[in-house]
């Protein structure tokens, strides 16, 4: 199955098991306490001041996407209107037609009050700022 890791060696590339993933300040990503309805391709990027989650959500309007924080979990979902009775006979399906849902486990170093999101060219970009005290601090040599 796409995005499913079988061993801890592959866990850095897996989005299915939140328990495996231990990023500095970002506990993990994927299904959290339950398996997502549909996965959408996702990249997680770390900078010195934030984590960014990039979700490929082409065809999903920003008005139909919901983000919420519950405890240490970031819940993201999207829906889109499709014609009633639209039931294609898939030979292979790799992206969601009607909806998606993702849950990301946040670490204690994330400043939840400053989480922001924007949509750019079909990609939902969520910025998770790292608390100032958890950011690397430079030391000057005298």
CATH at residue 47: 2.60.40.790
For residue 6, the Cα-to-chain-centroid distance in whole angstroms is: 20
Range of the domain at 18: 8-81+94-132
Nearest CA to 67 out of 77, 59, 57 is that of 77
Q: What is the pLDDT of residue 117?
A: 97
Q: 47-88: per-residue pLDDT in tens?
A: 989 999 999 998 899 999 999 999 999 999 999 887 887 777
Is residue 142 in a domain?
no
Tell me, yes or no, if the pTM score tops 0.85. Answer: no
* Number of structural domains in the chain: 1
Q: CB within 8 A of 90, min separation 6: which ones?
A: none
Q: What is the pLDDT of residue 77?
A: 93
Measure the CA–CA gap between 75 and 31, rounded to whole angstroms.
10
* Local structure of 118: helix, strand or coil: strand
Q: 79-123: per-residue pLDDT in tens?
A: 988 788 777 788 887 777 788 999 999 988 999 999 999 999 999
Is residue 72 in a domain?
yes
Q: CB within 8 A of 111, min separation 6: which ones?
A: 128, 129, 130, 131
* Local structure of 87: helix, strand or coil: coil
* Local structure of 43: helix, strand or coil: strand
CB of 38 closer than 8 Å to CB of 59: no
Is residue 112 in a domain?
yes
Is residue 3 in a domain?
no
Measure the CA–CA gap between 71 and 106, rounded to whole angstroms.
9
């Amino acid at each position: 199955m796409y995005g499913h890791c079988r061993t801890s060696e592959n866990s850095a590339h897996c989005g299915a098991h939140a328990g495996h993933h231990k990023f500095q300040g970002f506990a993990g990503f994927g299904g959290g306490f339950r398996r997502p309805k549909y996965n959408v391709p996702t990249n997680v990027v770390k900078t010195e001041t934030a984590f960014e989650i990039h979700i490929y959500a082409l065809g999903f309007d920003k008005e139909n996407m919901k983000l919420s924080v519950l405890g240490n979990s970031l819940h993201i979902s999207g829906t889109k209107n499709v014609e009633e009775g639209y039931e294609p006979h898939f030979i292979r399906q790799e992206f969601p037609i009607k909806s998606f849902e993702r849950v990301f486990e946040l670490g204690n170093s994330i400043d939840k009050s400053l989480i922001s999101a924007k949509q750019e060219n079909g990609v939902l970009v969520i910025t998770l700022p790292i608390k100032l005290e958890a950011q690397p601090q430079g030391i000057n040599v005298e």
